[in-house]
Amino acid sequence: MDKSKVYKSEEVRLKRLAKRLMLPHSYKKVGAWLLGLSFLALVILKINMGELGIYRTALKQLMLVGLLFMAISKEEIEDEMIVNLRAQAFSLSFICGIIYALVQPYINYGVAAVVAPEKAIYEEFGTFIILWFMLTVHLLFFYVLKKAR
Amino acid sequence: MVYAYRSFVIFLCIKKGALMRNRIKIERATLDITQEELARKIGVSRQTVNSIEKNRYVPSTVLALKISKLFEKSVNDIFELEEED
Protein backbone atom coordinates (compact mmCIF):
# COMPACT_ATOMS: atom_id res chain seq x y z
CA MET A 1 0.00 0.00 0.00
CA ASP A 2 1.17 3.52 -0.83
CA LYS A 3 2.73 5.22 2.22
CA SER A 4 1.21 8.61 1.45
CA LYS A 5 -2.27 7.04 1.44
CA VAL A 6 -1.64 5.56 4.88
CA TYR A 7 -0.46 8.95 6.21
CA LYS A 8 -3.47 10.67 4.66
CA SER A 9 -5.98 8.23 6.16
CA GLU A 10 -4.25 8.49 9.55
CA GLU A 11 -4.41 12.30 9.35
CA VAL A 12 -8.14 12.21 8.58
CA ARG A 13 -8.74 9.72 11.41
CA LEU A 14 -6.76 11.79 13.92
CA LYS A 15 -8.54 15.01 12.96
CA ARG A 16 -11.91 13.28 13.35
CA LEU A 17 -10.84 11.91 16.74
CA ALA A 18 -9.66 15.36 17.90
CA LYS A 19 -13.06 16.81 16.94
CA ARG A 20 -14.97 14.06 18.73
CA LEU A 21 -12.89 14.44 21.89
CA MET A 22 -14.16 17.96 22.46
CA LEU A 23 -17.19 18.11 24.75
CA PRO A 24 -20.08 20.61 24.54
CA HIS A 25 -19.77 23.89 26.47
CA SER A 26 -22.19 22.70 29.19
CA TYR A 27 -19.60 20.15 30.32
CA LYS A 28 -17.50 23.00 31.70
CA LYS A 29 -20.04 23.38 34.51
CA VAL A 30 -20.33 19.61 34.91
CA GLY A 31 -16.55 19.46 35.31
CA ALA A 32 -16.52 22.31 37.84
CA TRP A 33 -19.27 20.64 39.89
CA LEU A 34 -17.53 17.28 39.72
CA LEU A 35 -14.28 18.87 40.88
CA GLY A 36 -15.93 20.84 43.68
CA LEU A 37 -18.09 17.98 44.93
CA SER A 38 -15.33 15.40 44.89
CA PHE A 39 -13.01 17.82 46.71
CA LEU A 40 -15.70 18.48 49.32
CA ALA A 41 -16.40 14.77 49.70
CA LEU A 42 -12.69 14.14 50.12
CA VAL A 43 -12.42 16.75 52.90
CA ILE A 44 -15.61 15.61 54.68
CA LEU A 45 -14.71 11.91 54.51
CA LYS A 46 -11.17 12.66 55.68
CA ILE A 47 -12.50 14.52 58.73
CA ASN A 48 -15.09 11.85 59.59
CA MET A 49 -13.35 8.63 58.63
CA GLY A 50 -9.64 9.37 58.88
CA GLU A 51 -8.19 6.68 56.62
CA LEU A 52 -10.09 6.56 53.31
CA GLY A 53 -8.34 3.79 51.38
CA ILE A 54 -9.87 3.18 47.96
CA TYR A 55 -12.31 6.11 48.32
CA ARG A 56 -9.41 8.55 48.44
CA THR A 57 -8.04 7.28 45.13
CA ALA A 58 -11.50 7.24 43.54
CA LEU A 59 -12.28 10.80 44.68
CA LYS A 60 -8.92 12.08 43.49
CA GLN A 61 -9.55 10.46 40.12
CA LEU A 62 -12.99 12.10 40.02
CA MET A 63 -11.29 15.44 40.59
CA LEU A 64 -9.03 14.75 37.62
CA VAL A 65 -12.06 13.83 35.50
CA GLY A 66 -13.66 17.13 36.50
CA LEU A 67 -10.55 19.05 35.48
CA LEU A 68 -10.38 17.10 32.21
CA PHE A 69 -14.03 17.94 31.44
CA MET A 70 -13.23 21.62 32.02
CA ALA A 71 -10.14 21.41 29.82
CA ILE A 72 -11.73 19.70 26.83
CA SER A 73 -15.14 21.34 26.77
CA LYS A 74 -15.79 23.89 24.05
CA GLU A 75 -16.25 27.62 24.60
CA GLU A 76 -19.58 29.33 23.93
CA ILE A 77 -18.21 30.57 20.61
CA GLU A 78 -15.60 28.08 19.50
CA ASP A 79 -13.73 29.87 16.73
CA GLU A 80 -10.28 29.34 15.24
CA MET A 81 -8.62 31.70 17.70
CA ILE A 82 -9.92 29.72 20.68
CA VAL A 83 -8.71 26.48 19.06
CA ASN A 84 -5.33 28.16 18.58
CA LEU A 85 -5.17 29.42 22.17
CA ARG A 86 -6.18 26.01 23.52
CA ALA A 87 -3.42 24.36 21.50
CA GLN A 88 -0.91 26.89 22.88
CA ALA A 89 -2.13 26.27 26.44
CA PHE A 90 -1.91 22.49 25.96
CA SER A 91 1.62 22.64 24.61
CA LEU A 92 2.79 25.01 27.35
CA SER A 93 1.22 22.88 30.09
CA PHE A 94 2.73 19.73 28.58
CA ILE A 95 6.22 21.25 28.60
CA CYS A 96 5.72 22.70 32.11
CA GLY A 97 4.46 19.29 33.32
CA ILE A 98 7.57 17.53 32.06
CA ILE A 99 9.92 20.13 33.57
CA TYR A 100 7.97 20.00 36.86
CA ALA A 101 8.10 16.20 37.00
CA LEU A 102 11.84 16.18 36.28
CA VAL A 103 13.01 19.13 38.39
CA GLN A 104 10.66 19.34 41.38
CA PRO A 105 11.78 16.05 43.06
CA TYR A 106 15.37 17.41 43.11
CA ILE A 107 14.18 20.72 44.57
CA ASN A 108 12.21 18.85 47.24
CA TYR A 109 15.26 16.72 47.98
CA GLY A 110 17.54 19.77 48.13
CA VAL A 111 15.23 21.65 50.47
CA ALA A 112 14.81 18.56 52.68
CA ALA A 113 18.59 18.06 52.71
CA VAL A 114 19.08 21.60 53.99
CA VAL A 115 16.20 21.66 56.48
CA ALA A 116 16.27 18.08 57.79
CA PRO A 117 19.21 16.12 56.30
CA GLU A 118 18.33 12.89 58.15
CA LYS A 119 14.90 12.73 56.50
CA ALA A 120 16.02 13.72 52.99
CA ILE A 121 15.07 11.10 50.42
CA TYR A 122 14.65 11.38 46.67
CA GLU A 123 11.00 10.74 45.81
CA GLU A 124 9.43 10.79 42.36
CA PHE A 125 5.90 12.14 41.93
CA GLY A 126 2.87 9.95 41.42
CA THR A 127 0.63 10.25 38.36
CA PHE A 128 -2.03 12.20 40.28
CA ILE A 129 0.26 15.13 41.11
CA ILE A 130 1.65 15.39 37.57
CA LEU A 131 -1.78 15.13 35.93
CA TRP A 132 -3.24 17.61 38.43
CA PHE A 133 -0.38 20.02 37.74
CA MET A 134 -0.68 19.72 33.95
CA LEU A 135 -4.46 20.17 33.93
CA THR A 136 -4.47 23.14 36.30
CA VAL A 137 -1.58 24.80 34.43
CA HIS A 138 -3.46 24.23 31.18
CA LEU A 139 -6.62 25.86 32.57
CA LEU A 140 -4.59 28.76 33.97
CA PHE A 141 -2.69 29.36 30.70
CA PHE A 142 -5.88 29.07 28.65
CA TYR A 143 -7.69 31.53 30.92
CA VAL A 144 -4.84 34.08 30.79
CA LEU A 145 -4.43 33.71 27.01
CA LYS A 146 -8.17 34.21 26.57
CA LYS A 147 -8.14 37.32 28.75
CA ALA A 148 -5.07 38.72 26.97
CA ARG A 149 -6.54 38.40 23.46
CA MET B 1 5.76 37.40 39.22
CA VAL B 2 2.19 37.61 37.98
CA TYR B 3 3.03 40.74 35.94
CA ALA B 4 6.08 39.07 34.41
CA TYR B 5 4.01 36.05 33.46
CA ARG B 6 1.19 38.19 32.03
CA SER B 7 3.68 40.29 30.04
CA PHE B 8 5.17 37.07 28.65
CA VAL B 9 1.74 35.87 27.51
CA ILE B 10 0.89 39.24 25.93
CA PHE B 11 4.31 39.25 24.26
CA LEU B 12 3.53 35.81 22.79
CA CYS B 13 0.21 37.07 21.42
CA ILE B 14 1.62 40.32 20.00
CA LYS B 15 4.69 38.66 18.53
CA LYS B 16 2.48 36.31 16.58
CA GLY B 17 0.65 39.07 14.78
CA ALA B 18 3.43 41.65 14.63
CA LEU B 19 4.23 41.22 10.93
CA MET B 20 0.73 41.87 9.63
CA ARG B 21 -1.30 45.04 9.27
CA ASN B 22 -4.94 45.29 8.34
CA ARG B 23 -7.62 47.78 7.38
CA ILE B 24 -10.54 46.03 9.05
CA LYS B 25 -11.36 48.95 11.34
CA ILE B 26 -11.49 51.36 8.38
CA GLU B 27 -13.57 48.97 6.27
CA ARG B 28 -15.88 48.38 9.20
CA ALA B 29 -16.34 52.11 9.64
CA THR B 30 -17.13 52.43 5.93
CA LEU B 31 -19.85 49.81 6.17
CA ASP B 32 -20.88 51.22 9.56
CA ILE B 33 -20.93 47.89 11.35
CA THR B 34 -19.78 47.07 14.87
CA GLN B 35 -17.24 44.43 15.84
CA GLU B 36 -20.12 42.36 17.20
CA GLU B 37 -21.98 42.46 13.86
CA LEU B 38 -18.84 41.65 11.90
CA ALA B 39 -18.07 38.77 14.28
CA ARG B 40 -21.58 37.35 13.83
CA LYS B 41 -21.35 37.59 10.04
CA ILE B 42 -18.04 35.74 9.80
CA GLY B 43 -18.84 33.25 12.60
CA VAL B 44 -16.29 34.19 15.25
CA SER B 45 -16.40 35.93 18.64
CA ARG B 46 -16.17 39.71 19.08
CA GLN B 47 -12.88 39.25 20.95
CA THR B 48 -11.40 37.50 17.92
CA VAL B 49 -12.37 40.41 15.65
CA ASN B 50 -10.85 42.80 18.19
CA SER B 51 -7.61 40.78 18.29
CA ILE B 52 -7.39 40.73 14.49
CA GLU B 53 -8.00 44.48 14.29
CA LYS B 54 -5.25 45.15 16.83
CA ASN B 55 -2.82 42.83 14.99
CA ARG B 56 -2.64 40.48 17.96
CA TYR B 57 -3.91 37.55 15.95
CA VAL B 58 -3.30 36.59 12.33
CA PRO B 59 -6.46 34.99 10.91
CA SER B 60 -6.45 31.80 8.87
CA THR B 61 -6.79 31.97 5.08
CA VAL B 62 -10.43 30.91 5.31
CA LEU B 63 -11.25 33.67 7.80
CA ALA B 64 -9.30 36.26 5.78
CA LEU B 65 -11.28 35.23 2.68
CA LYS B 66 -14.56 35.50 4.59
CA ILE B 67 -13.62 39.02 5.73
CA SER B 68 -12.54 40.10 2.25
CA LYS B 69 -15.77 38.69 0.78
CA LEU B 70 -17.83 40.63 3.30
CA PHE B 71 -16.04 43.89 2.50
CA GLU B 72 -16.07 43.07 -1.24
CA LYS B 73 -12.34 43.64 -1.56
CA SER B 74 -9.40 41.38 -2.21
CA VAL B 75 -7.47 39.92 0.73
CA ASN B 76 -4.43 42.02 -0.24
CA ASP B 77 -6.49 45.19 0.08
CA ILE B 78 -7.34 44.36 3.66
CA PHE B 79 -4.26 42.57 4.93
CA GLU B 80 -0.66 43.49 4.20
CA LEU B 81 2.75 42.50 5.48
CA GLU B 82 4.50 45.12 7.61
CA GLU B 83 7.95 44.16 6.41
CA GLU B 84 9.59 41.64 4.09
CA ASP B 85 9.50 38.23 5.76
Q: Domain check: are A69 and A28 in the same one?
A: yes
Give the dihedral sign, CA B3/B48/A33/A69. Answer: negative
Q: Is the domain of A136 the same as that of A94?
A: yes
CA–CA separation, B11 vs A88, rounded Å? 13
- Asked if the Cβ–Cβ distance from B13 to A144 is below 8 Å, we say no
A92 to chain B: nearest residue by CA? B9
**pLDDT per residue over A28-48, tens digit each?**
999 999 999 999 999 988 888
Check pLDDT > 60 for residue B31. yes
Q: Show which of A45, A74, A103 is a domain's final residue.
A: A74
Residue B21 sits at φ, ψ, to 5 deg, of -125, 150
pLDDT in tens, A49-62: 777 788 888 999 99
CB burial of residue A71 (10 Å; 0-12, 13-18, 19+): buried
The domains of chain B are located at 2-81
Total count of domains within chain A:
2
Whether the CB of B10 is below 8 Å from some CB of chain A: the reply is yes
Tell me: pLDDT of B29 over 90: yes
Q: Tell me: do A92 and A63 sit in the same domain.
A: no
A58 and A100 inside one domain: no
The secondary structure of A56-102, three-state, reads HHHHHHHHHHHHHHHHHECCCCCCHHHHHHHHHHHHHHHHHHHHHHH
Mark which residues 21-50 of B lie under 8 Å from A by CB.
43-45, 47-48, 50
pTM for the whole structure? 0.80
Q: Are residues A111 and A51 in the same domain?
A: no
Question: What class does CATH assign to B2-81?
Answer: mainly alpha
Residues A33 and A97 placed together within one structural domain of the fold: no
Task: Place B44 in a pLDDT band, splitting at 50, 70 and 90.
Answer: very high
Examine the pLDDT at B18 and tell me if it is beyond 90: no
Which residues of B are less than 8 Å from A83 in CB distance? none
Nearest to A1 by CA among A9, A17, A16: A9
Q: How many CB atoms lie within 10 A of CB A139?
A: 16
Domain boundary, last residue among A74, A92, A108: A74
In angstroms, the CA A67 to CA A50 distance is: 25
Could you say which of A58, A74, A90 is where a domain stops? A74
User: Taking CA atoms, what residue in B is nearest to A77?
Assistant: B45
Closest CA–CA distance from residue A21 to any residue of chain B (Å): 21
A87 touches chain B (CB under 8 A): no
**Tens-of-pLDDT digits for all 149 residues of chain A?**
678 888 888 888 888 887 788 899 999 999 999 999 999 999 988 888 777 788 888 999 999 999 999 999 999 988 899 999 999 999 999 999 999 999 999 998 999 889 888 878 888 888 999 999 999 999 999 999 998 87
* pLDDT at res. B11: 54
| Residue B5 forms contact with A (CB below 8 Å) | yes
Q: How far apart are CA B55 and CA A8, in angstroms?
A: 34
CA distances from A114 to A22, A104, A109, A122 (A): 46, 15, 9, 13
A1 and A70 share one domain? yes
Q: Which domain holds residue A147?
A: 77-149
- Please tell me the predicted confidence (pLDDT) of residue A118: 82
One domain, residues A102 and A54: no
